[in-house]
């Protein structure tokens, strides 16, 4: 929660005094989008392309190891009477299966449950890094990660649609929904094609990115404000304490939003797959 106080430290280097409201040495160092531009830990080239290992990449790799490691340990030796770890893993699996897959796709969704479970936990853990000490950055606040996940979802639901309806049938059913007056196809067809092929992956990525970006920026603002307003002045202490309390409250709220966004991302994915399994009637 307090990782971005480094912003103040950098600000203080250019002033003789501390960057507090009481000293008047500097104005409030309001956080901006610059806090998301992290210096790379390492850089290397491969096939003429330059790659940067940043904190986002490291956190994403840690997230993968944690999730894969957890499910491997939970189900490595499954028992009829589950251990605590297996019970937690089963609760996560059953939640996605019963509350997302079966509710949205139905019986045909059983095949996709492992993918949906993986997607839910990857998005959730990537979001959760925003409030984990030493992490304190949501991986999904970097647009490349939500965009990559959305591209994968786009490929999967289109593949499912083509496989189940045939190439011609899939795009025909998409462009010309049955039961609609033919005159409306002039307006409806381009809207349907544009919505399914472009708007879906775009909104799926931007929704997740924007929520995590805005949430982290808001938390950083109140954290920095708590530090900036801290002083021996009674009014400064009151405002600093208020900002600190709001930071704690907003952190709890942000954790709810992180889980909610993982749920929404997985729910929409299930909806797209369910719609691709068979033509709407």
Average the pLDDT over 50-71 and give the result.
93
Average the pLDDT over 234-252 and give the result.
87
- Asked if 67 contacts 121 with a C-beta cutoff of 8 angstroms, the reply is yes
Report the candidate in 61, 214, 73, 71 with the shortest Cα–Cα distance to residue 126.
61
Q: Is the pLDDT of residue 279 over 80?
A: no
Task: Give the tens place of pLDDT for each residue, 138-171.
Answer: 999 999 999 999 999 999 999 999 999 999 999 9
Instruction: Give the C-alpha separation, 258 to 142, whole Å.
Output: 15
Q: Token pair of 121, please?
A: 């936990």
Q: How confident is the model at residue 32 (pLDDT cuts 50, 70, 90)?
A: confident
Range ranked top by mean pLDDT from 36-40, 78-82, 165-169: 165-169
Task: Give the tens place of pLDDT for each residue, 184-211.
Answer: 889 999 999 999 999 999 999 999 999 9
Of all helices (H) and strands (E), which one includes residue 44?
strand 42-46
Greater confidence (252 vs 35) lies with 252
- Asked if 225 contacts 29 with a C-beta cutoff of 8 angstroms, the reply is no
């Amino acid at each position: 929660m307090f990782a971005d106080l480094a912003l103040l430290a950098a600000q203080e280097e250019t002033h003789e005094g501390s960057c507090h409201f009481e000293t008047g040495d500097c104005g409030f160092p309001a956080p901006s989008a610059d806090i998301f531009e992290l210096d790379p830990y390492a850089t290397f080239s491969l096939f003429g392309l330059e790659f940067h290992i940043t904190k986002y990449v490291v956190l994403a790799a840690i997230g993968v190891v944690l999730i894969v490691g957890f499910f491997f340990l939970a189900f490595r030796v499954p028992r009829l009477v589950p251990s605590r770890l297996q019970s937690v893993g089963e609760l996560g699996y059953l939640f996605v299966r019963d509350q997302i897959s079966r509710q949205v796709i139905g019986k045909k969704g059983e095949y996709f449950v492992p993918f949906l479970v993986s997607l839910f936990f990857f998005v959730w853990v990537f979001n959760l890094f925003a409030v984990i000490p030493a992490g304190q950055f949501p991986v999904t606040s970097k647009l490349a990660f939500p965009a990559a996940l959305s591209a994968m979802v786009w490929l999967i639901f289109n593949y499912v649609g083509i496989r189940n309806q045939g190439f011609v049938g899939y795009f025909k059913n998409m462009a010309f929904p049955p039961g609609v007056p033919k005159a409306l196809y002039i307006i409806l067809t381009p809207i349907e094609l544009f919505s399914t092929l472009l708007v879906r992956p775009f909104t799926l990525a931007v929704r997740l990115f924007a929520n995590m970006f805005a949430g982290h920026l808001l938390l950083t603002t109140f954290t920095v404000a708590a530090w900036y307003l801290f002083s021996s002045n009674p009014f400064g202490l009151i405002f600093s304490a208020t900002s600190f309390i709001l930071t704690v409250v907003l952190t709890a709220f942000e954790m709810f939003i992180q889980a909610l966004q993982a749920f929404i991302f997985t729910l929409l994915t299930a909806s797209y797959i369910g719609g691709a399994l068979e033509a709407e009637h």
